[in-house]
């Protein structure tokens, strides 16, 4: 290879690198999918983690965030509901590399009420949280489905009651699966 060829390859390398930097900067660090997001952070010093958010939120599931972000910033990604109980801890507590999940409880008559794992013993549900008719519908769903892996599975069983009660329930991180 000639000296001229080496210079051309070096200039192409510099141009491609510069274009990549410009793309990242002007893209505002927004990525179309989690793979791009995590790939970018492999090359940076900021550590990212995937945190499971459940309970009184619009969309339970896994969300990417940075170590040092507040819990509320991750909860906002999952969607805050009017029924979400937003304690001061959510605003103050930071994500660490060991944070795996955030459970958002709900507001009932102005007071915090604890969301219930839908796969727990059903006697917990009789504690005045749900009507006996709603509990019966949940029992039917559990008998027919086994372990509930996503609250969306309950819609056919609960009908309109689903929207009155889904935020009072959650699927544990261990059981969660997307549809």
Could you read off the pLDDT tens digit of each residue along the chain, which spans 179 residues?
677 777 777 778 887 787 776 666 555 454 444 444 444 444 455 799 999 999 999 999 999 999 999 999 999 999 999 999 999 999 999 999 998 999 999 998 889 999 999 988 766 666 678 888 888 899 899 999 999 999 999 999 999 999 989 999 999 999 998 76
Indicate the SS3 state at residue 127: coil
Distances in Å between the Cα of 174 and the Cα atoms of 60, 135, 139, 149, 168 are 13, 23, 20, 9, 18
Rounded to an integer, what distance in angstroms lies between the CA atom of residue 141 and that of residue 147?
A: 9
pLDDT value at residue 177: 87
Matching residue, tokens 């010093």? 45
Asked if residue 168 lies in contact with residue 115, where contact means CB atoms within 8 angstroms, the answer is yes
Task: Indicate the CATH number of 31-113 among 3.10.20, 3.40.50, 3.40.1130, 1.10.30.
Answer: 3.10.20
Asked if residue 179 lies in contact with residue 152, where contact means CB atoms within 8 angstroms, the answer is yes
Rounded to an integer, what distance in angstroms lies between the CA atom of residue 135 and that of residue 117?
A: 13
**In degrees rounded to 5, what are phi and psi of residue 44?**
-115, 175
């Amino acid at each position: 290879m000639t000296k001229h060829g080496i210079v051309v390859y070096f200039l192409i390398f510099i141009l491609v690198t510069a274009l990549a930097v410009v793309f990242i900067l002007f893209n505002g660090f927004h990525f179309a999918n989690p793979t791009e997001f995590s790939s970018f952070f492999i090359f940076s010093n900021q550590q990212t983690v995937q945190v499971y958010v459940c309970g009184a939120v619009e969309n339970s599931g896994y969300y990417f965030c940075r170590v040092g972000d507040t819990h509320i910033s991750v909860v906002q990604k999952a969607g805050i509901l009017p029924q979400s109980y937003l304690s001061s801890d959510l605003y103050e507590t930071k994500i660490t590399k060991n944070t795996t999940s955030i459970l958002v409880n709900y507001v009932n008559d102005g007071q915090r009420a604890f969301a219930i794992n839908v796969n727990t013993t059903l006697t917990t549900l009789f504690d005045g949280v749900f009507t006996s008719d709603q509990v019966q519908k949940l029992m039917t769903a559990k008998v027919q489905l086994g372990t509930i892996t996503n609250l969306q599975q309950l819609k056919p069983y609960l009908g309109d009651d689903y929207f009155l009660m889904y935020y009072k329930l959650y699927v544990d991180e261990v059981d969660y699966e997307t549809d």
